[in-house]
Structures are given as C-alpha cells and as structure tokens.
Homo-oligomer: A and B are copies of this chain.
Amino acid sequence: MSYNTFGHMFRVTTWGESHGPAIGCVVDGCPPRLSLSEADIQPWLDRRRPGQSKFTTQRQEADRVEILSGVFEGQTTGTPISLVIHNTDQRSRDYGDIAGRYRPGHADVTYDRKYGIRDYRGGGRSSARETAMRVAAGAVARKVLGQGIRIRAALVQVGAHKVERARWDWDLVSRNPLFCPDPVALVQWEDLLADVRKAGSSIGAVIEVVAEGVPPGLGAPIYGKLDSDLAMALMSINAVKGVEIGEGFAAAALTGEENADPMRMRDDMLEFASNHAGGILGGISTGQPVVARFAVKPTSSILTPVPSVTRSGENVDVMTKGRHDPCVGIRAVPVGEAMMACVLADHLLRHRGQVGS
C-alpha cells in the first residue's frame, strides 16, 4: 500500500527530492550473511551517473553512496539496509521561472493538482535523480541473486533507428556511453544525438533488459506474475511509456505457429528451440533468458517554447533552459537492469518461501 515502496519480500522504499539534502532508500527483507559494502554498490551508480558524455545532462553528481545500517563486519544481517546519497550539487539559484509555471510534459502540473504543493526545485520528487536509489538497491539485489544470474541491458532503439540484432555485441555495450550493442547503429546514433542536442531538442529510445540463468519457477499466478511485476517495475521508471516481454507487441502480428517455442529434451534437460515467450509462460519463468523491453519518451525539457499555463491560471510559453538530457533513455539502461534485479530477487525469495528451495 505504500506509495514509495516496491517488492514484497525483497522490498525497497525510496525517498528524497532532487534538490533536498539527500536521497536514499531502505532495502528490507534482504537475506543475511551476504557480503556487502559500498564498493559493491558504487560501480553501478557510476554507470548511471550523468555528465559522463556529451549525450547526457552535464549536471555533476558525485553520487557517493553510504550504508547506514543492516551491514555488520561486511555482511548483511537480515535487518533493513539504509542507503543514502548526499546531494552535493545543490546550486543556490533562482527557481522563479519554474516555481510558478508548469513545464509541459512534466509532472509539475499533476503534482500540484494532486497535492496542492510541490517541491519545484529540479523537479523535486519527480526528478530522475530518484533512479539512483533504484540502481543502488539493484546492486544489493544482484547479491541476492548470486553469480548464476546475469542481468544486462542495452539501448536497442534511438528515435526511429533500431539496432540490427545480427550485429549484437554485448562487449561493445560496456565500452560506449550509449550502451549500444551494434557498432553501426552506434555511429548513426552519435550523429543523430549530436543533431538533437544542437537543436535543443530531445528524442525517445527503447531499452532491452536480459536476465540469463534465471531458474524455472519464479513468478506466481495470477497477480504475482513475474511479467506483471516486471511491467510495473519498468513502467515506474521516469518517462517510460511502454513495456513488453519477449515478442511483445510484435506478437500481435504473429500466428500461433510462428509464435510457438518448441521444446525438446537434450541430455535430460528441457530445451526450448526459440524464446518468443521471453522466458515467461503463465507468469512463471521457464528457465530461458527473461527478456523485457521498455520505451522511454523524449524528455520534455527542450529549448522550443511550448504553450503552457502558470500556477495562477495564465497562459504562458515555457522553454526549459539549462542542463538537460537529449535522450533520457540512455541513462535508463542501468536503471532497467536494476529493476530487473530487484524483481527477480523478490521473486526468488517469494518462491523459496512458498515452495522451498
């Protein structure tokens, strides 16, 4: 019922505003005796950190995570793990321009209509800054999942340009700031993004997250399905407008024959000949890689003025100056991985609870 918590047995509560003193999260339900230190979390945060290329916002955030509880002598204790990042880039500035006017496409107007108040500084609670804590929690979730489960994500579409799957190279993903798995697309995207940035515009993107080594049996019918929990988790990321599993929307255009994943025994192990299902049948993992994709809209912060209104009900045209991301989808890549990790960790514990081992 909590508005700022997700997960059931592996449970994450985040708090904090973009320009408040700190942001943080509490990870509850983590199994005991897992080795954990800041050094296990920081590298994942560094991947998400802005300002690492010209394609993301130039805002500088050290994003130095601290563990305040739940770890003793380098091991988790089973009690809640409190993680905090102090906001160091709180420039004292004049917010007059956004305090009273609604940026189109932002949550400014809906927060105000819901609560009658909003912390407008840097987007407050609705800022993508919150996703840092998802990444931190995801690092803990990876510890729960162990070495056998590998979670990776890549950008698979920027604007109308998709990657070519025949050229997919996971190694490339970790070597370019766009998390692109296709060397040809990478060049295209760099050009495209340079143009978008120069124009003060923005562009959408699609991210694919793949989890390998997921044991069969995770997820539960009917309202604890692995895919519906993934859908919720990924849709909750800022600016996400769509989520799909396996073939996703493309499945609508297929026939049953085309979409079938044949099964065969091989060395006493069940094998699937294809993975249209994206690793999930009936809400439960099959043992194949779990494959999810999500679409991120172009950020609404652009240099072109857009008709809007003020808090007091006057028409105004709003242009969002200052640091901005030409493609917020880029930084969503590590966030997508983190959400996958958290959902899987939760389901691993839930499955063990109900069924044992």
Contact = CB atoms under 8 A, between A and B. Distances in A.
B265 A315 contact: yes
Given A24-B68, A78-B117, 18 more contacts: A3-B80, A31-B356, A72-B117, A105-B277, A110-B285, A114-B216, A114-B284, A125-B222, A159-B253, A159-B255, A204-B253, A227-B235, A228-B231, A231-B235, A242-B244, A259-B297, A264-B307, A265-B315
Nearest to A70: B15
Interface stretch (A38-46, A51-59, A171-179, A346-354): A346-354
B295 A116 contact: no
A88 interface: no
A98 interface: no
A234 B245 CA distance: 13
Those 3 A-B pairs whose CB atoms lie nearest each other, nearest first:
A107-B282, A353-B353, A242-B244
Contacts of A109: 263, 270, 281, 286
Interface in A245-270: 245-265, 268, 270
Interface stretch (A5-13, A145-153, A180-188): A5-13
B282 A251 contact: no
Interface in A1-54: 1-6, 8-9, 11, 13-17, 20-24, 26, 28-33
25 contacts: A1-B1, A1-B11, A2-B224, A3-B80, A5-B11, A13-B80, A14-B223, A15-B80, A16-B69, A22-B69, A26-B26, A77-B125, A78-B220, A102-B263, A107-B221, A109-B281, A114-B217, A114-B218, A130-B222, A159-B253, A202-B256, A231-B235, A255-B302, A270-B313, A356-B357
Nearest to A221: B125
A290 interface: no
- Give the size range of A's interface with the partner: 35 or more
B3 A257 contact: no
A246 B295 CA distance: 12
Which of A124, A205, A228, A250 has the most B CB atoms < 10 Å from its CB? Answer: A228
Given A221-B107, A228-B232, A244 B241 contact: yes
Contacts of A29: 1-3, 354
A263 B254 CA distance: 39
B221 A126 contact: yes
B33 A26 contact: no
B70 A256 contact: no
Interface string A311-355: 001110000000000000100000000000000000001111111
Nearest to A23: B69
Given A107-B221, A229-B232, A353-B350, A255 B82 contact: no
B4 A295 contact: no
A104 interface: yes
